[in-house]
Amino acid sequence: MTVALAGCGGDGSSGDVTLKLVAADYGTGEGNKSQAYWDGVARSFEASHPGIKVDVTVYPWTDVDRKVAEMVKDGKAPDIAQIGAYADYAKAGKLYSADEMLSIPTQANFLPKLADAGRVSRIQYGLPFVASTRLLFYNKDLFSQAGLKAPRTWGDIASDAGALKQRGVTYPFALPLGQEESQAETMMWMLSGGGGYTDDVGSYDIDSEENVRTFDWLKSNLVDKGLVGPVAPGKLNRAKAFEAFSRGDVGMLNGHPTLMEEAEKQGVNVGMVQLPGADGPTKTSMGVADWIMGFKQNGHRVEMGKFFDFMFNDENVIAFADKYDMLPVTDSASASMEDDPKFKPLHQFLTTLTNAEFYPFGKTSWAQASGSIKENIGKAVEPGANPQSVLQHIAQESSAAENAE
């Protein structure tokens, strides 16, 4: 791996500077790799900023976090990294804060919930790069054939799933609690039950009364009644659930914008509603964000700031969100998409994003907590299981990780 770092041009000094940028690939094949997007942004930036070059390397999501960690460990940190987490690097003092790099208009333009999610000890180090949120998806044709309306409550989900099962639907409600991304499915259900991963002061609260009640309901009303399909939730990964929905084999599941497009391509008539709660639609939804950050090692604070100010203009933000069916992270780009009929399919997601709750990204222990959720949460709904004891086990592992920070 070649790391082309320029040795000159530190904090505000003159001379040619090469910014090393490492990013994740959001593409699904050769035709839509992220390298093309980054090359376009880099060349446009260079044309208007003589003396600053941008050297971009794109890695698959399966590799990018590890690659950056190795570069940092070897003393060859990139200037800019677009990856999944920032907190470890911020806690280690390796990142510039947002206000050390960005102009005030750029920093003020982030959606407030996303800016808050980028903070460690009340200082923003993680710059939100792209976002997504979740809605409940349902197959309109299957619902119509069964004489059903879109669900609004947990009770609706249970009764609708029962009706769909009677009609031979393979997965009346697909519940992916396998290891691929079960921390997302878990958080969506916790939020819909009035709980979440943390309490009001930010401490883990995974085995709260609300969360236990939610998983008791899931086990008793969906899983034990055989309404989640032929694969046990703990063995069902999100990708397989999404594939089944796109084939028309799923009545309901929690989904994101990319699934909407893929399912419609395959002829599924997709309905979407706010996540149902115990008594009605939930007021919050789960949001997901990926991050971009600036490392201190090479001292290119000023040059990175200029690049970020350029990168976060509406044209660039919307271009990436549009290409990959994601959501923009700035107020102005969100407003622009809401005003554009071209983006009407995303408007419901854009509205949901303003009230979304995010993973506790600012905790360096979150990676371990998330790992424990992926490993164990499927066990909470297994035959004969006690959801409370499983949640307590996850809570103990998560708190131990937090106390070890």
Query: Model's pTM, two decimal places?
Result: 0.88
Burial (CB count within 10 angstroms: exposed 0-12, middle 13-18, buried 19+), residue 332: middle
Kindly give the interhelix angle for 209-218 and 182-192, rounded to the nearest 10 degrees: 110
pLDDT value, residue 15: 59
Q: Which residue has the tokens 């999404």?
A: 242
Listed residue (142, 134, 374) closest to 245, CA to CA: 142
Q: How far apart are CA 291 and CA 213, in angstroms?
A: 33
pLDDT value, residue 8: 35
Superfamily (CATH H level) for 135-274+365-403: Periplasmic binding protein-like II (3.40.190.10)
pLDDT value, residue 355: 87
Judged by DSSP in three states, 12 sits in: coil
Q: How far apart are CA 348 and CA 134, in angstroms?
A: 10
Q: Are 89 and 295 contacting, i.e. CB atoms less than 8 angstroms apart?
A: yes
Which amino acid belongs to residue 154? W
pLDDT value, residue 13: 43
Q: How far apart are CA 315 and CA 168, in angstroms?
A: 47
Judged by DSSP in three states, 268 sits in: coil
pLDDT under 70: residue ranges of the chain: 1-15, 405
Q: Are 256 and 346 contacting, i.e. CB atoms less than 8 angstroms apart?
A: no
pLDDT value, residue 2: 33
pLDDT (tens digit per residue) in 339-371: 999 999 899 999 999 889 999 999 999 989 999
Listed residue (288, 228, 293) closest to 258, CA to CA: 288
Tell me how far the alpha carbon of residue 309 is from its chain's centroid: 23
Q: What is the CATH number of domain 17-131+287-358?
A: 3.40.190.10
Q: Are 267 and 343 contacting, i.e. CB atoms less than 8 angstroms apart?
A: no
Q: How far apart are CA 347 and CA 280, in angstroms?
A: 21
pLDDT value, residue 181: 87
Burial (CB count within 10 angstroms: exposed 0-12, middle 13-18, buried 19+), residue 4: exposed
> Could you tell me the sign of the dihedral formed by the alpha carbons of 221, 229, 271, 135, in that order?
positive
Q: Are 405 and 369 contacting, i.e. CB atoms less than 8 angstroms apart?
A: no
**Local structure of residue 223 (DSSP, 8 states):** I
**All CATH 3.40.190.10 domain ranges in the chain, comma separated:** 17-131+287-358, 135-274+365-403
pLDDT value, residue 314: 98
